[in-house]
Structure 1
Amino acid sequence: MMLSHWVLLLSLGAVQLAEGAEISPGSCTFEDSTCAYTSAFPFLQWTVNTEGHYVSVDSSNGSRGQKAVLISPDLHLAEWSCLRLVYQIAGSESSPSPSSLNVFVRPEGESFDYLLWSAEEHSDSWLISSIDLKNTTKRFKIILEGVLGLDAMSSVAIFEVKMSTGYCIECDFEENHLCGYMNSWNPNVNWFVGGGNVKNSHSILPRDHTLNNEFGHYMYVDSVYVKHFQEVAQLVSPLITTPISGCLSFYYQLQRESSNIFLVHTRDLHGSYDEIWKMGLVRQGEWNLAEVDLNAPVPLEVIFEVAFNGIQAGYVALDDISFSPVSCSGQQGMFFDAREAGCDFEESMCHFHQDDNNGSGWSRVKVKPNAYQMGDHTSGLGYFMIANTRFTGQPGYFGRLYGPSLPGNIQYCLRFFYSLYGFYKTTDSLAVYIFEENHVVQEKIWSAHETPKGVWLQAEISIHKPMPFKVVFVSWCKSFWDCGIAAVDDISVSMGSCQISGYYMYIEATNMVFGQKARLISKQLRAFTGKQCLTFFYHMYGAGTGLLNVYLSKESDINKDTLLWTRKGEQSITWLKAQIEYESEQQHKIVFEAVRGISIRSDIGIDDIMFQNGPCSDSSDPLQSSGYSDNFNEIDF
């Protein structure tokens, strides 16, 4: 298999900081040490290979699942920065448990390491990864974690870590790693490095734009190698993993003896392309500036694509790619945070508003739960939205709850929980519509069908519209005798399509005997000071349901777990939310334990486990997450 040009450069060991150049904080070439990075106890030690100038951990000094952790010194980013990592993971491609390399950030004063990037792909050469880091007022550390796989010859190696100011998508091509840009290999037409001592083209190539001399570097693609009509060469940027919005600019030069095409696309993780720029009339033989607005709310690659019509089509050269958070028109780039389009209604209606011109409208309410009526979905004790109460709704009444405006041409996933009560027929009693900005109805995208009444149910809708729009929840009171309560809660919006089906963990009671236990154990979690919050959802429904326990297992006391939380017996037909505050100044694990009840209908499920730094946001009654008493429908055994 032929490798991309930049990979060949890396395999020759050319990826090094300029000799004598000042090494920026957080950077290291591992020439003869780990610089200011330190190995963390009690994990495996990273070994410095002074001949190859890299650090590694392999199966000769560790076993499957063991990891080596390298911790950076304290870092501070006053400006947006890019972390580049040159690495290699070796082992068998068919291994069921491959080695992996993970990069975390550890903010000062917080209890958790946040995953920035992870890889487990094996290769025979060095690879490069680029990670954007937002500027922050907090100091932090970078954590490099190598985890050994099952293969007897597994290893993880790091050749270089480089921290530089600017966006990862920016590049002047003066360094051999090419900023992580990669040529998408084609048998005939490819992007190459030009300038410097490279003299491998029949075309008269330009001087670079950065240095404006023959020693500077740029990327170019030449038609001299074209064999077929409309052959395409693609130069692919590193993946943009941190949302950005602003102006992408670059310089290009071409010599065109016949028609050719130069385009810029974006490509998401699903492989969908979106053209954002196309070359028009330009001055040949000199550098031309191109600017285009780039909005990357989800992970994207930027692709520079050239298509030639024949061997006499000349060349296209590219240099000095840069990015600014200010749009090309001069306005500050406004990145849309999809999370702001959701609401749990605990504190307010957020960015939602109601349309009550024709009736009582939607109301934000709080209901005290009991065995005959449920509370809100978030905690069982909070607020949610209801419409069409039986005694205030008018025949033919429509209640509309408008969401905030959403930018167009982006894929969204809308999730919410709803409940219906008192309707003779639930069909169309609650629906979701798309409205244009001027409140004109565009289309209905969802409606409730015949569903269980009086319980919280979840709905997911994938939405993609070319123009800005609003999501509107509409409840219809058809007549006095068919006018019940429609409720919604925990509305969320995220980028990307909804998953067709979600996953959760559960015990299957039919395969167990009464009193039998099943344990789900977390990975090792590091020590922390203060409090942190564990949040998860659980499902306990069915006569004879058993126990669900959550334990804290400390490293120093592995034979005695501390009970943090418990539920016994049937709780609800819907998923319920639980929050647990706990402290641990030692390394520890969290253990979920399900105990089978007296009935084969006593399945227990858990989902959406999340840890957060600091106390739980709703800690008024951390054990009362279902809205019912601890012994509601309790089964003694």
Structure 2
Amino acid sequence: MSEKRRNVAPNKSTSPSSALSACGCSFEDGLCVWVQGAEDELDWLSRTGPTETPNTGPTGDHSTSRGKYLYIESSAPTVKGDKAQLKSLLLPPAGGKGYCFTFWYHMFGATVGSLKMLLQTADPLKRTLVWQKSGNQGDEWRLARSHVTLQEVHQVILEATVGGEAGDIAMMTSPSSVDHVLPLEGSCDWQQQSDDDSDWVRETGSTHNPHTGPDSDHTTNTPTGHYYFLSSTDDLQGQTAKMSSPLYPAGKWVCVQLWYHMYGRGVGMLNVYQQSEEGKEALIFSQSGDQGRLWRFAQASLLPRVQPYRIVVEGVKSGPTQEGDLAFDDVHLTDAQCPPPGHCDFEINMCSWSNLGGDVDQEDWLRGRGASTNPSTGPSVDHTTNSTHGYYLYVDNSVGEWGDNSFLISEVFQPATRGHCLTFWYHMYGSHIGTLRVYTNDRTMHSGGNEEGMLKWIETGNKRDRWKEASVTVKHHEAFWFVFVYQRGMNPGGDVALDDISVRPGGCYSEPPISPPDDDNDMMSAGLAVGLTLLAGVIISIFLVVLNKNRRV
């Protein structure tokens, strides 16, 4: 461990602005005013270029790719749960408007732990979690912001926790990382509507009933992050609460996306409308009932309008019940067309597909491109572009243990009379490939503790270095979602990959495999076909000989 420095109280003659500005640091020449924590197991390390462990960590810093950044090394002798803390100098009270602390972070790998931002006061000694991310966030630098309003002398603490051997976490700030600003996580000019029966409430942390509602917001994944919440009470069935966005110009934006939370036996309905300036509403999204204890993704295409419009989010209570809380967060409008539900080529991001997280599985699906760093396994090109520049999803089989699972879940689909067809391309190449399964799940199975659901497709073993297409026909009588589960093989050398997933109404042309084939399935199938063909030829020859003899007689 490196030498720890003692914190010094802020000088009364030092202005808040100068104290905050001192926290900005590029880490090119040391830690500036930051110090390593004294009660942790690891130190933040300074580095340029890529980290030593493959399939995790950045390839360079955020600004130039040649500068320095700080990171934690997750490989041995480091163990899961080890922490590294970085502490600021003591900062003065935040002032009337508070200040915004920003930094860049990189969390990429199959077993990434968590990164937290905490505020610590000295008298009394107290720590408050204000920002947090857990698990794989993709192979890219991301910007984090936290609005600080603490009116006491305090420290900022950045704490990284090791999640596994492929879980390097990197961080860097900049000279402009701290500034006085208005609150970032506010209402964004959304307003309660007056023609309803109840109100959405801006909430933090968990709701009062442990059997309904979220435990944290979606944006920061912390108890201090905000979301809008509609409480389930003993109110009458059908009571509504509406919130509306600012008025948007005609023709502006084409797709709206948001995250919602609908957990509990008495959950009602969530509706999203596009409302004209005169108040005429068009329903563009609707969901009802218990959708599980997690934040769900939703999107809807906006209708072309010649007049200004608003987005309206409506919650409908099913009451009377105590287990029907509704919540929404992170509403985003974009100029890009909404992708078809379930469709993703992974060229930009993971679309509506997400890792499950929590304690259910052990590793994450990663977004990558080019050849695997593990020899003799994984694809060398993606399926979409057939090049080393295209992206796909994969599981890094060099980490973890035999039997470890990686879950990938879709958005929620509504039942259809003709069913749905899931089509995807998969790559299973390596000497120790495990098993890839596809399930469908719904709120009935999920509420009973079944995280996987009903098995619809399965494949196992080495399928050689090529992309293969699969299709799965699904007919469901209630809202459902797809679950991909990869179970790790016995040894490293078993990377599996997915690309070009699509979901369309109606059945598929081909049916999925009924049972898992052996590793040498392709060769056995070919041999069996040849054998049957020869046998048929022999039988036909004998038949013709006998027939010819009978004619002569």
With normalisation by structure 2, the TM-score equals: 0.31
Larger radius of gyration: 1
With normalisation by structure 1, the TM-score equals: 0.27
Determine which structure has the larger helix proportion and give its number: 2
